[in-house]
Structure 1
Amino acid sequence: MKQPFTVEYKTSASDLVTAVDKEVEKHVIDAILRQYPEHGILGEERTFTGDPGEYDTLWVIDPIDGTTNFVHQQINFAVSIAVYHKGEGLIGVVYDPSRDEMFHAVKGQGAYLNGQRLRLEKTVSLEEALLCTSVFWNKQAEQMGIDLIVKKLAGKVRGMRLLGSAALEMAYVAAGRLDGYVSLSLNAWDFGAGRILVEEAGGKVTTMDGKPLPFDRKSSVMACNTTFYEELQHYIQSEQDADPS
């Protein structure tokens, strides 16, 4: 995208929104409601005027996940769209326009990248894992001491990455490019599609403390290859229990 576009702050200089975010969300919502006027929409830019809680079928959308990357780098951002019916994830799509990569999943039918089936079949141990997180920069994580736990975790695993787009990072977990993703706090539109992708590829997605992930509200997230899920969960939990704070 070479044309200039307007950049605004939401809550701070690090919380950005562009005219493109708003245009994409409006375009997606208009297209959905033309076909499915009885459906509800939960979107980051809040351009849908209805109450999402009143609808059995809910589209969960993020027009640009990774807006700061979009503004600064023009890579590592994605469009994320998911469909949930009565809380069950049916369809998840994450599209990376900079690389022309389309990740999609349908409940019970698997996950795909540009038409190629994604299956998490490799056995991974914690020390072999390549993880991704946003915890390092989270104020709440600092207050709870979880940032220190994740920093210790970074010394235990093979490597840690920070890409700045949760939807894309979770899609990479589904594709096996990353082995796991951990976040203390994500909005529903950040993980809505990625969750379905990871689960349909054969991975596991829960909150950081191992509880079922909600579909319509903010939550911590842990998504990873199932072969080291228990090891990762146990490590995080044991470090939290050992933290005197």
Structure 2
Amino acid sequence: MQASTLTALKELALHCARSAGELSLARMKQPFTVEYKTSASDLVTAVDKEVEKHVVETILRHFPDHGILGEESTFAGDPRQFDTLWVIDPIDGTTNFVHQQINFSVSIAVYHKGEGLVGVVYDPSRDEMFYATKGEGAYLNDQPLRLERQVKLEEALLCTSVFWNKRAEQIGIDLIVKKLAGKVRGMRLLGSAALEMAYVAAGRLDGYVSLSLNAWDFGAGRIIVEEAGGRVTTMTGSPLPFDRKSSVMACNPAFYEELQHYLNLTENDMADNGAT
């Protein structure tokens, strides 16, 4: 892909993320409806849908021949039919948006034939823009991010949502991670996977582990972590897909092998119990 096209994609992704964040902040100050998706803990608001519609329309005005895979499914076409695919989450961390008004983010990624080109994660409540372009590094508000600090596993601050996943109990991953919590320096949970992965790229967290995320949850964060020099794979060490659910392990490369060895999971463990 030409450098000029890549730059245009990055600039549009940054523009969409910022305008989406500004829209979410504006709507947060007004009354909005909250609905359940699958349970009382799986929320969607009218703001999620409005923000995604705004992003989709903006993208298609500039690139009408691109596909879009979004959490709220406001794109009318079939994402699988497009070489260039935008993967977006208008509000990652909707529960935080509803309850806390912080720790939510806009996640926008661009993939071409499965290759990650651009990733943007914007935290509107703190005005922090994490972004990366393939081969050009990762940045936070235009300051470069690079994971050069050598971190041992016992020194690591990790983040995980495994403890709240029912399938994790079935597989026994929850017990493994509980033991891991006693080995590392600490565990955190922010409630926005995109933001948590961006924090790994920034060195605020040293690693992130999740049993099951949607493509729009990790699509941008993956690119940012990798461009910062981190490692991102499934929990079993396989390459991440770009357009479907997957487990995710993102971390400082210094302890990647040790962390994966500690989890000690196989593809059969995950497949037999319905995890990906």
Per the normalisation by structure 1, the TM-score is 0.97
Write out aligned runs for 1:216-231 (5 A): 216-231=243-258
1:6 corresponding residue in structure 2: 33
Partner of 1:128: 155
Contact kept, 8 Å, 2:104 with 2:192, in 1: the verdict is yes
1:51-66 aligned at under 5 Å gives the runs 51-66=78-93
Q: How many residues align?
A: 242
Question: For the residues of structure 2 that align with 1:212 and 1:69, how far apart are their CA atoms?
Answer: 30
Task: Within 5 Å, give how 1:161-180 maps onto structure 2.
Answer: 161-180=188-207
> Does the alignment pair 1:106 with 2:133?
yes
**What letter is aligned with 1:196?**
I
Q: Distance in 2 between matches of 1:63 and 1:216?
A: 16
Matches within 5 A, 1:1-245: 1-237=28-264
Aligned-CA RMSD value: 1.5
Q: Which amino acid counterpart does residue 143 of structure 1 have in structure 2?
A: Q
- Counterpart amino acid of residue 238 in structure 2: K
State the identity %.
Answer: 85
Q: Please give the alpha-carbon distance, in whole angstroms, between the structure 2 residues aligned to 1:72 and 1:122.
A: 35
Contact 2:89 2:217 in 1 (8 A): yes
Conservation of the 8 A alpha-carbon contact between 1:146 and 1:240 = no
- Whether contact under 8 Å (1:77, 1:165) holds in the other structure is yes
Report SS of the residue matched to 1:38.
coil
Q: Which runs of 4+ in 1 moved over 4 A?
A: 238-241
Asked if the contact 2:236–2:267 (Cα under 8 Å) also holds between the matched residues in 1, the reply is: no
**Distance (whole Å) between structure 2 residues aligned to residue 78 and residue 3 of structure 1:** 18
- SS of the equivalent of 2:222 reads helix
Deviates more, 1:172-181 or 1:232-241: 232-241
Q: Secondary structure at the match of 2:130?
A: strand
Match for 1:158: what amino acid? R
- Quick one: which amino acid aligns to residue 229 of structure 1? Y
Which residue is 2:10 aligned to? none
1:16-36 deviation line (CA, Å, top 9, x unaligned): 001110011000000000000
Which residue is equivalent to 2:13? none
Structure 2: tracts of 5 or more residues without a match: 1-27
Which amino acid in 2 is paired with 1:96?
D
Pair 1:57–1:135, CA change in 2 (3 A): same
1:239 to partner: Cα distance: 11
Deviation, structure 1 residue 2: 1.6
Shift of 1:59: 0.1
The structure carrying a bigger helix percent of its residues is 2
Distance in 1 between the 2:134 and 2:246 partners?
22
Unmatched 5+ stretches in structure 1 = none
1:136-179 CA distance string (max 9 Å, x none): 00011111111111111100100000110000000000000000
